[in-house]
Structure 1
Amino acid sequence: MTGNATILPPPTPENLAAFWPVGVSVVAPIAVVLAVLYLLGAVALWRRGRRWSVLRTISFLLGCGILFLTGSLGLNQYAEWLVGALVFQQITLMTVVPPLLIVGSPGRLILRATPHRGIGRVALRVAHGGLRSRVASAVLHPAVAIMVAAALYLGLYLTDLVSVAIALPAGHELLLMTFLVGGIVAAVPLWSSDPLPRAPSYAARLADVGIELQIHAIFGLVLLRTPSLLFSALSSPPPSWSVDPLFDQAVAGTLAWTYAELPLFVILIVTLARWGSRDAKLAARHQPRHEADLEEYNAYLASLEGRGSSSAGDEQGQRGG
């Protein structure tokens, strides 16, 4: 561990939410850089008189703000000693921040704001090549999101690999970056409206969300129901903190049951709404054609009926003659 628990005060709500200028995580400056680059692109479009959604801009900046706070508040210091704080960071970086960033459509902003000459042209070619590559197509497969969630919730914790990782030099930073990148990879197929090399069906998205909900539920249940400590590196908080490690472990399980599930339920509702909206648009688009076909078919039946009546009249006329 890189932190020194002897100089940390007890983890009260005030200390967890306080800003700590010393020991800020690397994700905090990353958030600042992302926000500045996004604003530069958005302002460049607005200056040219081109439209760019204010709501998308707010969403991306909100994601950057939450990312900055996750790495700069006291929570980041205590996450090297308390599993509840670390799981809170993980959930935030994997299920809260990525959707906000992705809804901001940074990929589309890059394509619109980057100049199509000089180094900008080279950057666009690289971006297009990467987007169309087999690697991008494979990474954005819905099954990858499930594997990421299983590896970073079940595999990392239930094998106590989290203790090995956090004991390494800069191990906490490595974990945070892994959570963030894994969350973005898992969220892109579910949230992105940018052109992707692989567009998952709505059925695949629903299956993905359903399985991830179960992974969170299993993870939370294990932490809540296990009567012994699971994590060797996160089971010895300083006695002066008066923190029960088992209670801390139960807090982490409760977070997995509640905080981690809420964004997935939002995805579930949004996916169902988009699916219904798409089906309604397709039905409205094909309705005039169906009505034309029906009218043509009715006209055909009417012509057959007219021919039948005409033939019957001719036969009666011949018999009368």
Structure 2
Amino acid sequence: MSGPGSIGPLPPPGFEQFLLPASPAVPVLPALALVLAIAYLAGVLRLRRHGHPWPWLRTACFLLACLLMAVVTGAGIDAYGQLMFSILMFQQLALTMVIAPLLVLGSPGTLLLRATPHRGLGSTVLRVALCALRSRAARLALHPVLVIPLMLLSFFGLYVGGIADALLPTSIGHVVLEVAFLVVGIVITAPLVSSDPLPRRTTYPSRMFDIFLEMQVHAAFGLVMLFSPTPFVAYFTTSTPDSWGVDPLRDQGVAGILAWTFGELPLLLMLIVTLARWRLQDTSRAARDVRRADEDTEAYNAYLRQLQQRERGSAELRAESDD
């Protein structure tokens, strides 16, 4: 049996088959990964040519995200993701909870603002980027209230609501899902871990609350998929070749386990990063307050010394006049 967009019959799934090079019918995300990696490296090299450093950790995060994006959507695993629920769930979690946060941690917005020339075409690019960043649509997209509806839509709405059944039979529909996974991941994680100049800043208590709710959504969806007595996505009951011996209901349970475990780990890491940044912010603020208090105390002491000197000077003048 041939999967949508695959060439020739697919052998039974295996780790070596997942990583084999493949040619997707619509290679949107692999091509995007290559373009993003080249553009990012060009920006880093331009900064360094002008003597401006750029953190190597940000570069590593962004390039790793591009590599994973190319593999997850361009290798053999992509064809299997069109035939098995568990593989599609792995792709969704990888794009949403791993690749998207790594892209955000690379701070591409900051790099764009620093590395783009301020004349010619670069000036136009900067104006467009700043207008998009300050737009009402950007503020709305990054509003923390949207996090939970997006999570519910990308899990329960997609699979329980029947959206997946409408999109998965075609290669273009599968690519639309992958792009949607990546976009949702960026929108969800940008307010939580981004260091770029966003149009809206989310407070640390709000970030922790969002992460906690996201963990509950993952757990609830995983449990529903794991213990459901019937398949939720009708497409996957007929897409898998019989010769593979894959039980659709058991495969759905595997997808639920992935949503619960693989989906929770990145959120736990985000929670740790959020707590660390919150503590660092409080420590910096406390140190700044201490310095300001010391400066105020020193200024007040200097004022008192001036008063004492004036009083001594006045006393000496009165003593001289009495003499």
Which runs of at least 4 in structure 1 moved beyond 6 Å after TM superposition? 291-296
Indicate the residue corresponding to 2:228 in structure 1: 226
The residue type equivalent to 2:260 in the other structure is: W
Once the 2 structures are TM-superposed, how far is the Cα of residue 160 of structure 1 from its aligned partner? 2.4
Q: Offset of 1:57 from its aligned partner? A: 0.9
Matches within 5 A, 1:20-35: 20-21=22-23, 23=25, 25-35=27-37
Aligned residue in 2 for 1:273: 276
- Deviation of 1:24 after TM superposition, in Å, equals 6.5
CA–CA distance in structure 2, aligned partners of residues 89 and 129 of structure 1: 33
The number of equivalent residue pairs is 298
Q: Say if 1:229 and 1:5 are closer, same or farther in 2 by CA, change over 3 A.
A: farther
* Equivalent in the alignment of 2:141: 139
| 1:191 alignment partner in structure 2 | 193
Matches within 5 A, 1:1-321: 2-3=4-5, 7-21=9-23, 23=25, 25-168=27-170, 170-236=172-238, 237-290=240-293
Any conservation in 1 of the 2:26–2:175 contact (CA below 8 Å)? no
Q: Do the aligned residues in 2 keep the contact of 1:15 with 1:74 (CA within 8 Å)?
A: yes
- In 2, distance between residues paired with 1:181 and 1:169? 19
Partner of 1:182, secondary structure, is helix
2-structure distance, mates of 1:191, 1:144: 16
State the alpha-carbon separation in 2 of the partners of residues 291 and 52 from structure 1.
34
Task: Report the TM-score when normalising by structure 1.
Answer: 0.87
TM-superposed CA distance for 1:191, in Å, is 1.3
Matched residue, 1:304: none
Distance 1:39 1:292 in 2: 44
Post-superposition CA distance 1:8-59 (Å, at most 9, x none): 1111222123222354642111100100111111111111222112221111
For residues 104-127 of structure 1, the C-alpha deviation after alignment (integer angstroms, 9 at most, x for no partner) is 111111111111001111111111
| Structure 1 unaligned residues grouped into runs of 5+ | 301-321
Q: CA offsets, 1:224-248, max 9 Å, x none?
A: 0001111111112111111111111
Identity across matched positions, percent: 45
Letter in 1 for 2:123: R
Q: Structure 1 residues 87, 286: closer, same or farther in 2, change over 3 A?
A: same
Moved more, 127-136 or 22-31: 22-31
- Which position in structure 1 is the counterpart of 2:320? none
User: In structure 1, how many angstroms separate the alpha carbons of the residues matched to 2:198 and 2:257?
Assistant: 35
AA of the residue aligned to 2:274: T
TM-score in terms of structure 2 length: 0.87
